[in-house]
Amino acid sequence: MILEYLSGPVVGAVIGYITNDIAIRMLFRPRQPKHIFGWHVPFTPGIIPKEKNRIAGAIGTSISENLMNRDVLERNLLSDEMIAKVRQAVADFAYTQLHNDETVEQFARHYLTADEVKVLRDNAITEATKLLITKLQDSAVGEQIAHVATEHVIEKSRHSLAGKLGADKLLSALSGPVKSHLAKHINEVLRSQSGDMVSRLVRDEGDKLLSLPMRQLLAGHEEQVKQAQDSIVSVYRTVITEHLPRILEAIDISAIVESRIREMDIVEAETIIMQLIRKELRAIVWLGALLGCIMGTVTTLINS
């Protein structure tokens, strides 16, 4: 008698457990379509392998529209907590550089290759040399140097010849011709020799700069470093506020997610899904057993 009452619930539970377990497995298996004598076996391949491309598109669209859209990203990226993290990261970086014994070149090598550092150095030296040469070869430079030099000599001469009759008039009369003659020769020298002089000077100074320790380069500029920190945070806000839509459009999160899922091997996809919801899927299997047990009990009571 007891066996008759127990058999229905037990059989129902076993059937419910097995059917739910099979249904979950059929989400992923079989991984390839099956044929018997040329006849396609229904429900092969499993639902996820069969609908993989459609699922990939749906997931990509859902993530880009609901989880990583502009409003969500902007709200999180501009939150007080995130701004505080950015500010702290910039402050930590600045503090490190203020006490950094690495040379400027060593510091740059963290972000650039040796060849890239050399190219930047050479380009900077070339551009600085061109600019200085252009400025020095301007006739106004020779005239300014001649004016300063002549005025200095005349002033010194006035002190030396003070009290001597006609000295002041003579110096004033000589001032104009001396300036003109001196400016002419200075401009000639600058035009003919400024290239080599400036090139050597700029190259030497460039080498000195690259060999300078970061802490020494920044020493005495703590206030400017602080202002730079505030500027970086401001730039971060501007980029997120004004350029986030274009960034999202360029990145195309939907396409990236869809492409990644399409490329994903079905075994890998199954592993990821099972890692995420293994507990929930097992709960569904046991729920099937419970429902089967309940149905078996009800059927037994009705037939008794």
Last residue of a domain, one of 161, 182, 212: 212
Answer whether 132's CB lies under 8 Å from 198's CB.
Answer: yes
Residue 163: strand, helix, or coil: coil
| Domain assignment of residue 97, yes or no | no
How many independent structural domains does the chain possess? 2
Is 228 within the bounds of a domain? no
**Nearest-angstrom CA–CA distance, 240 and 177:** 64
Assess if residue 221 is contained within a domain. no
Decide if 66 contacts 241 (C-beta within 8 A): no
| Residue 36 counted as domain residue | yes
- For residues 56 and 138, state if they share a domain: no
Q: 289 lies in a domain?
A: yes
CA-closest candidate to residue 100, choices 215, 224, 217: 215
Eight-state DSSP code of residue 30: -
Encode the chain (304 residues) as per-residue pLDDT tens digits: 566 667 878 888 889 889 988 888 888 888 888 888 878 877 788 888 888 888 888 888 888 888 888 888 899 999 999 999 999 999 999 999 999 999 999 999 999 898 998 898 888 888 888 787 777 666 676 677 767 777 777 677 666 666 565 566 666 676 777 677 776 776 677 677 666 777 788 888 888 888 999 999 888 888 888 888 889 999 999 989 888 888 888 888 888 888 888 888 888 888 888 888 888 888 988 998 899 888 888 887 787 6
Q: What angle separates helix 167-210 from helix 139-160, to the nearest 10 degrees? A: 130
In a domain, 92, yes or no: no
Q: How far apart are CA 243 and CA 221, in angstroms?
A: 31
Q: Does one domain contain both 50 and 107?
A: no
Identify the domain containing residue 270 by its residue range.
Answer: 2-70+250-303
Domain for residue 129, yes or no? yes
